[in-house]
């Protein structure tokens, strides 16, 4: 790694780690909201540097969040990338943004990749968080755009969606110990209730409350409010199992990278929290194994680390692991 590359990536990681207290656009970044593509339902925001030469384009993809591409953490991430010299495309997928599993999200993502590689500077890469990491791998392996994607960085991605769904049932049967486990468990129950209102006692009354809390969950709801809502509406001990049984397994299979990565041509970086309570870290080596099998010559690195919490990049400088993270992030700068 050249010293100039080290400095650039270290500067980027420090910016990402320094989450702002307010959602205020940066003076060095131009933001163009709600751009759209003819025939594609999904819109996207575009972030570009004002004072720095654009070195390439990155599509940054959200996970399961009602804020979708407008999630404050993703906006901060996009602004940091733009300040570092990238044009950043941030879609808002109709399914993930509504807490729904829709294969049409992948079609929309492929269309945005095709559009972006024609209209924005090269090289082009994807950076996906959580479920968005899995969607990014699926899109990058689509033969229509596979040759156009230079790299994919996935953080907290799953390999097999059906396995993750079954794992939720298994882990729900065990008592949550840490605050993070409790928080993630309630979020899962809220998502399942949003997808299957019949799990609620009074769907007409409670469904709007479920959606409201999901939209505010990470920014404007307190632990006390979450606990009260759980006790009043989501305490059924079988709710997760019932939600799993109601979920269409063919849709989960369609949204799984497992068995669908043979056409991928991009360099791939798989990064995962070793103590992840949303997607188990065991899915990272499974993704690595499949990619090595279908494409033996692929430029591939995997990092299972304690540097992040699922997809939260708030503490990126723990001694002994930061160099590995810097190496994993190098595709962002065309290396």
Residue 305: give its domain's CATH number: 3.40.50.1820
Q: Which of 184, 219, 251 is the last residue of a domain?
A: 251
CA 201-161-284 angle, 5° bins: 130
For the ranges 173-177, 210-214, 270-274, the one whose mean pLDDT is highest: 210-214
| End position of a domain, from candidates 235, 251, 267 | 251
Same domain flag for 148 and 225 = no
Q: Tell me, yes or no, whether 84 and 190 share the same domain.
A: no
pLDDT in tens, 17-29: 677 766 778 888 9
Produce one character per residue of 297-317: b if its CB has 16 or more CB atoms within 10 Å, e if not: ebebbbbbbebbbbbebeebe
Ranking 19-23, 77-81, 156-160, 205-209 by mean pLDDT, the lowest is: 19-23
My answer on whether 45 and 144 are in the same domain is yes
The answer to whether residues 299 and 177 belong to one domain is no
Whether residue 227 sits in one domain with residue 312: no
Residues 243 and 114 placed together within one structural domain of the fold: no
My answer on whether 118 and 185 are in the same domain is no
What pLDDT shows up at residue 26? Answer: 83
Best mean pLDDT range from 22-31, 77-86, 224-233 = 224-233
**Nearest 10 degrees: CA dihedral of 139, 78, 214, 106?**
-10
Is the pLDDT reported for residue 239 higher than 50? Answer: yes
- Residue 330: per-residue pLDDT: 58
**Within this chain, do residues 228 and 328 fall inside the same structural domain, yes or no?**
no
User: 172 lies in which domain range?
Assistant: 165-251
Eight-state DSSP code of residue 309: B
Higher pLDDT, 298 or 328: 298
Percent of the chain with pLDDT over 70: 84
**What mean pLDDT is predicted for residues 257-267?**
95
- Categorize the per-residue pLDDT at 316 as very low, low, confident or very high, splitting at 50, 70 and 90: very low
Looking at the structure, tell me whether residues 13 and 129 fall in a common domain.
yes
Most confident of 220-224, 267-271, 285-289, 315-319: 285-289
- Quote the pTM value: 0.90
40 pLDDT more than 60: yes
């Amino acid at each position: 790694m050249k010293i100039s590359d080290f400095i650039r990536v270290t500067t980027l990681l420090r910016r990402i780690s320094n989450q702002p207290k307010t959602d205020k656009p940066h003076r060095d970044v131009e933001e163009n909201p709600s751009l759209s593509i003819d025939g594609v339902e999904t819109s996207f925001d575009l972030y570009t540097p004002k004072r720095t030469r654009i070195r390439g384009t990155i599509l940054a993809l959200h996970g399961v969040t009602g804020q979708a591409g407008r999630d404050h953490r993703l906006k901060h991430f996009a602004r940091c990338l733009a300040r570092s010299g990238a044009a950043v495309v941030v879609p808002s997928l109709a399914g993930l943004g509504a807490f729904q599993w829709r294969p049409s999200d992948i079609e929309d993502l492929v269309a945005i990749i095709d559009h972006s590689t024609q209209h924005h500077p090269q090289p082009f890469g994807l950076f996906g968080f959580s479920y968005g990491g899995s969607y990014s791998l699926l899109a990058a392996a689509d033969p229509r755009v596979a040759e156009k994607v230079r790299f994919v960085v996935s953080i907290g991605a799953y390999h097999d969606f059906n396995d993750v769904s079954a794992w939720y049932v298994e882990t729900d049967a065990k008592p949550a110990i840490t605050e993070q486990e409790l928080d993630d468990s309630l979020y899962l129950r809220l998502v399942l209730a949003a997808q299957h209102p019949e799990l609620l006692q009074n769907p007409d009354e409670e469904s709007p409350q479920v959606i409201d809390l999901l939209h505010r969950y990470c920014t404007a709801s307190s632990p006390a409010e979450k606990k009260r809502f759980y006790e009043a509406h989501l305490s059924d001990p079988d709710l997760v199992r019932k939600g799993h049984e109601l979920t269409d397994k063919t849709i989960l299979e369609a949204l799984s990278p497992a068995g669908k990565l043979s056409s991928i041509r991009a360099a791939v970086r798989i990064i995962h929290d070793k103590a992840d309570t949303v997607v188990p870290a065991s899915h990272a080596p499974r993704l690595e194994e499949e990619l090595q099998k279908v494409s033996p010559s692929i430029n591939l690195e995997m990092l299972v680390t304690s540097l992040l919490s699922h997809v939260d990049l708030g503490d990126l400088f723990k001694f002994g692991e930061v160099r590995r993270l810097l190496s994993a992030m190098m595709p962002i700068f065309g290396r």
